[in-house]
């Protein structure tokens, strides 16, 4: 059933950025409505120990996000289990249409849609997705009890995925395209000292091979980046962990983006190229991409939205091209 709701502030996304924005906006009496999306809690729900969230020496990612949701709720934010499939930021109030059929109009909007796992784009990777090729060890690691698996990548995610997989797999082979990992030193040390882990340096995934019936991975072909030689590694599962891309499809062609889709914000703020629309977290951050920096940006976005709403008031019927004072001037992308 299609319904219409007008809200002062709509927050899209339920990671650290979205929930922090909701806490601040609720305390500012903006009566925020937060739409969670298909991954309530965001990226931290697919990891295990988080060891760099201040105040917690170690906390499970999903537990931290349950706590953030409860906090936003307790402050008075309305949290909606739905997904926004389109937005119109060309006129105010802004419009957001949800899968449930609800159309939101909003005086201001905070976008905190985060990032999604990147894939290599190989046909064989696509063919075995869900049949031995995965981008989430926490979700799928359990299926590889006593089996050999490979992880592709050299950043924090790849190393954490590899270490997590040692809980199930008999052997974990990490394949990295260079001879040096990008991951934090503490993680590198844990990986390199782990008896179940082998690292294959200077190799790229060339293809995944396997059986059709029952469908499943039997191994990978990896190519030496220096010599071009291809060799086989027999594994039952492959975890692609080569980074994340910003989830900005929703606002493609409506907001200024750069560096492969990151939403541009005015330096030192969360203001986007459309006054009244703010962006926070991994959606806009190609540098830090951490839970704590995302939460910090969520705070900034709520404070800026509050100030912007106070100065611009109810926006119904206004054209976004009008000069709007605070937030109207946007610096070009750096
Ligand atoms: P995300 O957490 O990406 O959340 C995005 C939210 O937007 C989701 O709730 C999603 O459902 C929602 N959404 C997307 N599209 C829509 C839509 N159209 N409509 C409605 N909602 C939508 N960082 C650390 O600091 N410490 C760690 O230990 C750590 N470990 C990590 C482990 C893994 C495996 C990964 C992948 C990342 C890790 N990170 C870690 C990075 C951290 O998770 C991110 O920096 C952080 O989650 C970004 O927060 P965010 O709020 O910007 O977005
Ligand atoms: P990342 O830091 O961007 O690392 C991606 C890795 O994949 C790099 O090693 C990169 O190789 C490799 N790669 C990229 N494209 C590739 C390709 N086409 N073929 C082969 N390899 C490829 O991504 P991430 O590890 O997902 O981390 C994302 C952000 O989340 C980071 O800011 C990270 O700090 C954060 N995070 C933090 C934690 C934590 O704090 N514990 C945990 C997970 C993630 P090169 O090194 O050669 O570029």
189: containing domain: 119-240
**263 in any annotated domain:** yes
Residue nearest to atom 2 of ligand 2 (CA): 155
pLDDT for position 73: 98
pLDDT for position 315: 54
Separation of CA 18 and ligand 1 centre (Å): 10
222 in ligand 2 pocket by Cβ < 6 Å? no
Whether residue 58 has pLDDT greater than 90: yes
Same domain for 307 and 167? no
Separation of CA 16 and ligand 2 centre (Å): 19
Same domain for 133 and 55? no
Same domain for 227 and 182? yes
pLDDT for position 21: 98
Same domain for 230 and 256? no
The domain boundary residue, chosen from 191, 216, 240: 240
pLDDT for position 320: 52
The CATH number given to whatever domain includes residue 88 is 3.50.50.60
The domain boundary residue, chosen from 240, 266, 299: 240
Cite the active site residues: 136, 139-140
Residue nearest to atom 13 of ligand 2 (CA): 242
pLDDT for position 317: 54
pLDDT digits (tens, 9 = 90+) for 314-334: 655 555 544 333 333 333 333
32 in ligand 2 pocket by Cβ < 6 Å? no
Task: Pick left, alpha or beta for residue 114 (phi over 0 → left; psi -120 to 50 → alpha; otherwise beta).
Answer: left
pLDDT for position 326: 31
**327 in any annotated domain:** no
pLDDT digits (tens, 9 = 90+) for 226-272: 999 999 999 999 999 999 999 999 999 999 999 889 999 999 999 99
pLDDT digits (tens, 9 = 90+) for 123-151: 999 999 989 999 999 888 999 999 999 99
Same domain for 213 and 171? yes
Q: Give the number of domains in the chain.
A: 2
What does the mean pLDDT of the chain come to?
A: 93
Same domain for 210 and 135? yes
The domain boundary residue, chosen from 240, 260, 283: 240
pLDDT for position 325: 36
pLDDT for position 334: 39
Provide mean pLDDT across the span 191-216: 97
320 in ligand 2 pocket by Cβ < 6 Å? no
Residue nearest to atom 28 of ligand 1 (CA): 50
Q: What is the SS3 string spanning the chain?
A: CCEEEEEEEEEECCCHHHHHHHHHHHHCCCCCEEECCCCCCHHHHHCCEECCCCCCCCEEHHHHHHHHHHHHHHCCCEEECCCEEEEECCECCEEEEECCCEEEEEEEEEECCCEEECCCCCHHHHHCECCCEECCHHHHHHHHCCCEEEEECCCHHHHHHHHHHCCCCCEEEEECCCCCCCCCHHHHHHHHHCCCEEEECCEEEEEEEEEECCEEEEEEEEEECCCCCEEEECCCEEEECCCEEECCHHHCCCCCEECCCEECCCCCCCECCCCCEEECHHHCCCCCCCHHHHHHHHHHHHHHHHHHHHHHCCCCCCECCCCCCCCCCCCCCC
266 in ligand 2 pocket by Cβ < 6 Å? no
pLDDT for position 319: 56
Same domain for 15 and 112? yes
Higher pLDDT, 13 or 259: 13
Cα angle at 63 between 62 and 64, to 5 degrees? Answer: 90
pLDDT for position 191: 98
pLDDT digits (tens, 9 = 90+) for 75-86: 999 999 999 999
């Amino acid at each position: 059933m299609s319904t219409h709701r007008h809200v002062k502030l709509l927050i899209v996304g339920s990671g650290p950025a979205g929930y922090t924005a909701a806490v601040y906006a609720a305390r500012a009496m903006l009566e925020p409505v937060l739409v969670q999306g298909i991954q309530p809690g965001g990226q931290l729900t697919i990891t295990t120990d988080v060891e760099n969230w201040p105040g917690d020496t170690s906390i499970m990612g999903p537990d931290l996000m349950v706590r953030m949701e409860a906090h936003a709720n307790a402050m008075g934010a309305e949290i909606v289990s739905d997904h926004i499939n389109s937005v119109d930021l060309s006129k105010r109030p802004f419009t957001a249409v949800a899968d449930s059929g609800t159309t939101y109009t909003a005086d201001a909007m905070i976008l905190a849609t985060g990032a999604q796992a990147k894939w290599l784009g190989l046909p064989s990777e696509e063919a075995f997705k869900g049949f031995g090729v995965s981008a989430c060890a926490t979700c799928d690691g359990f299926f590889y009890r006593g089996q050999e698996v490979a992880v592709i990548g050299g950043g924090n995610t790849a190393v954490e995925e590899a270490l997590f997989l040692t809980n199930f797999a008999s052997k974990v082979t990490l394949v990295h395209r260079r001879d040096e990992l990008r991951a934090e030193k503490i993680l590198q040390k844990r990986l390199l000292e782990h008896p179940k882990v082998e690292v294959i340096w200077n190799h790229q995934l060339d293809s995944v091979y396997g059986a059709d019936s029952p469908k499943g991975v039997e191994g990978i072909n990896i190519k030496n980046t220096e010599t071009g030689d291809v060799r086989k590694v027999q594994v039952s599962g492959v975890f692609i962990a080569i980074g994340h891309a910003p989830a900005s499809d929703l606002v493609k062609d409506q907001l200024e983006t750069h560096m492969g889709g990151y939403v541009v914000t005015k330096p030192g703020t969360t203001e986007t190229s459309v006054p009244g629309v703010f962006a926070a977290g991994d959606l806009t951050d190609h540098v830090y991409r951490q839970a704590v920096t995302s939460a910090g940006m969520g705070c900034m976005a709520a404070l800026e939205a509050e100030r912007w709403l106070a100065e611009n008031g109810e926006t119904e019927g206004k054209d976004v091209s009008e000069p709007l004072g605070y937030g109207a001037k946007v610096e070009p992308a750096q």
